[in-house]
Structure 1
Amino acid sequence: MEGFSVEMKRKAPAKVNLALDILGRREDGYHEMRMVMQTVSLCDTVTVRETEEAFSLRTDGDFIPAGKKTLEQQAAELFFQAAGQTMPGLAVTLEKRTPAYAGMGGGSADVAALLRLLRDRYCPAMADEELERIGLAVGSDMPFCVRGGTALAEGRGEVLTDLPPLPTCTFVLCKPDFGIPTPTLFARVDGAELTARPDIGGMTAALAVGDLEGVAARLGNVFEEVLPPEYREVFTIKERLRELGAMNAAMSGSGPTVFGIFRCRTEAERAAAALKARYAQTFVAEPVKKFAGLE
C-alpha cells in the first residue's frame, strides 16, 4: 500500500459524558464504568506524512519532549504490528483546540484520529473492532473515540453499544482555569457511598424516541458527588449555564469542563459570550453523528 506522498489530515473531535456512573473497582485495578458518551464538533486536527526519519510528533509547532514514547507512537507501533507491516517513518503534527486535561478526551481523540487515518491508508480492510482493540491497549477512552457518535460505554469503556443519535442541539463547553487529577477522584469514589447516580436507562430510552428534554433531564456524573471543596467552581459554572438558558448542565468525565445543552445555537452563542468574559476556554459545539462530515 502506497504511503503518504502528501500530508494527510484528519479531525479529532472531543467527547462529553452525558452520563457517567462508576459501578465499582475491579480486580485488575480498573473501575467498572457505565456511561453515555457523545462526540462533539470541537476538535483538534491531526496531520501525518511519511518520512525517512523515525517517528516524530509536534504539537502547534513545538516538539514533544524526548525520552518517552508518546501515546501516538505507542498506538502507531501497535497498529503496524496488528497489520503485519513494517512501520515507516511518520511525522505527526497536532493542531490543538480541545483543552488538555479537561475531561473531554482530547488526547484520546488525537490518538483515535491517527489510528483511523493509518487504517484508511495502510490497512483499509482492518475492522473497526480491531482498531478499537488497538486503541484500548493505549487508553480506556480510545475505543469510543475511534467509534464516535452516541454510545453506551461499559466495562473500562471498551464495551460499546451504539445508541440513536442525540437530537439536534448545541453544546456550550466551559473549562475553568484549573485541572482535576483523575486518580484523586477515583480514590474518593472508592471510599464513598454514591447516592446521585444518573438514570442511564432513562437516558437511553429518551434517545430511542428522540426526546432531547428527556436526555437533558438525566444528565449526571457521579464524580460531581465527590469533588473536593477546592473544585466547587464546577457547580458555579453549572448554575450559570442554567441561568443563561441551558436545558441542563453537567461536568464531563473527570472534569473540570462543564457542558450545557441548548435547544438552539443562537441562545448557546449568547451564553458562551457571557461565560467567555470570565472563562477564556469556552466553546460552542454541536453533537457529531459518527464523525459525519469530519473525516
Structure 2
Amino acid sequence: MPLLKAYAKINLSLDVIGKREDGYHLLKMIMQTIDLYDVLEMYKAKSGIHITCNKNYIPCDNRNLVYRAAELFIHKYNIKDGININIVKNIPTAAGLAGGSADAAVVLKTMRDMYVPEVYDSELIKLGLNIGADVPYCIIGGTALCEGIGEIVTPLTPFKDHILILIKPSFGVSTKEVYKNLDINKIMKHPDTNLLIDAIHEGNLEMLSRNMRNVLENVTLKRHFMLRQIKGQLIRAGALGTLMSGSGPSIFAFFDDMLEAQMCYDRMKIKYRETFITRTI
C-alpha cells in the first residue's frame, strides 16, 4: 500500500444548540481540513490487528481509535485476514485537531478499498460514529457543515489555500470535561453560521476571520490564561482573526500575508514548541 495521509481539522465555528436525552450535545459547526497530517502504512496480516507508532506515548491496543476502527470493520464485514498498521504521528494529541479520528477514518476507507470497495461513504460514516463524533467528518474532509452529534456532514464551497498559524500549548484538554462544564444557558453569543457559510462561498477570508466563534472557548479559555495570551499575541502579530479548535487547547489564526505569517511563526516557535505554519486544503 502507498503511504496514506490522515489530515488534521480545525473548526471555523462551533455552536452547541441543545442536548439529547442521552447526554450528547447537539452541534452545529463548520470544519476545515488543513495541511498537517499523520502518515499511515497498512498491509494485510494473516490474523489480528498489529499497530506500531513512532511516538511511545501513543497506545497501540484497543485504546487507540485506529485499533477500534480496524476491529469494527473486521467484525462488520466478516474479514478473515488481519491488518498491520504503522502510524507516524505529526498531529498533536488531545489538541482539538481530530488527529485520532483522522487516522481512524483513513483506516476505514483503506480497509474498504482493500476488502469491500462497493461500500459507500454513508455506510462508513455510520460505522465511524461508533468510534468518535469527528470520524464521520474525517471520512468526507474538506470544508463542511457538521450537525447532530457530528454525523450529518454537508460539504460546503472549498475554502482552500488560506494561510494559518496553529499553536498547540504544552498541555492537553479533555473533551469530555469541557462539555461537562459547558452551561448552554450561559452562552451569550452564538456563531452566525449562515454568515460564515456566505463568507466561505465568497472566499472572503476577512469576513470569516472576523466572525469565527467557538462556544467552547467559554470553558477552556476561562481555565487557561495562556490561551487568552496566545490569541492576543497572534492578533498583535497581524492575524485577521483567531479561534480555538474543537474543545482546545489548539489556537489558530488566519493571515493574508505570507511574510507576516512567517515572521509570526518564527516568534511563536521560540515560545511554543508545537507551532505550525500551514494552510487550508
Normalising by structure 1, we get a TM-score of: 0.89
Indicate the SS of the match to 2:29: strand
Q: In 1, Cα distance between the equivalents of 2:54 and 2:181?
A: 35
Q: Tell me the alpha carbon deviations over residues 11-33 of structure 1, each in whole angstroms, 9 at most, x when there is no partner.
A: 00000001001112211221000
Structure 1 segment 34-113 matched on structure 2, within 5 A: 34-60=28-54, 62=56, 65=59, 68=62, 70-82=64-76, 84-113=77-106
Instruction: Specify the alignment match of 1:267 in structure 2.
Output: 260
Instruction: Choose 210-219 or 272-281, whichever is displaced more.
Output: 210-219
Q: How big is the shift at 1:137?
A: 1.2
Length, aligned pairs only: 281
1:163 matched residue in structure 2: 156
The 3-state SS of whatever aligns with 1:269 is helix
Separation (CA, whole Å) in 2 of partners of 1:279 and 1:63 = 20
Equivalence for 2:199? 206
Distance 1:81 1:171, change over 3 A: same
Q: Determine helix, strand or coil for the equivalent of 2:43.
A: strand
Shift of 1:230: 3.8
Structure 1 unaligned regions, length at least 5: 1-6, 289-295
Task: Give, as a single letter, the amino acid of the residue that structure 1 aligns with 2:265.
Answer: A
Deviation, 1:78, is: 2.3
Structure 1 residues 138-160: Cα deviation after superposition (integer angstroms, max 9, x where no partner): 11000001110000000001111
Superposed, 1:125-140 pairs within 5 Å as: 125-140=118-133
Alignment partner of 1:119 out of 107, 112, 115: 112
Tell me the distance in 2 between the aligned counterparts of 1:63 and 1:250.
28
Q: Post-superposition shift, 1:67?
A: 6.5
Deviating above 6 A after TM superposition, structure 1's stretches of 4 or more consecutive aligned residues are none
Checking the alignment, whether the CA contact within 8 Å between 2:9 and 2:32 is kept in structure 1 is yes
Please give the per-residue CA displacement for 1:64-105, whole angstroms capped at 9, x wherever unaligned.
6576453222212322344x3424121111100000000000
Calculate the TM-score normalised by the size of structure 2: 0.94
Whether the 8 Å CA contact 2:206–2:240 is kept in 1: the answer is yes
Stretches of structure 2 that go unaligned for 5 or more consecutive residues are none
SS in 2 for 1:100: coil
Separation in structure 2 between the aligned mates of residue 286 and residue 241 of structure 1, nearest angstrom: 16
Q: Is 1:239 matched with 2:232?
A: yes
Measured on the aligned residues, the alpha-carbon RMSD in Å equals 1.9
1:199-249 per-position Cα deviation (integer Å, ceiling 9, x unaligned): 111101111222121111111110112236441211111111111111100
Q: Distance in 2 between matches of 1:68 and 1:209?
A: 43
SS in 2 for 1:111: helix
Tell me, yes or no, if structure 1 residue 251 matches structure 2 residue 250: no
SS at match of 1:238: helix
Residue 224 of structure 1 is aligned with which of 192, 217, 221?
217
- Deviation for aligned residue 1:131: 1.4
Aligned residue for 1:291? none
1:179 and 2:172 matched: yes
Give the secondary-structure state (helix, strand or coil) at the position aligned to 1:227.
Answer: helix
Question: Matched residues, percent identical?
Answer: 36
Secondary structure of the 1:249 match is: strand
Report the CA distance shift for 1:191/1:166 in structure 2 as closer, same or farther (over 3 A). closer
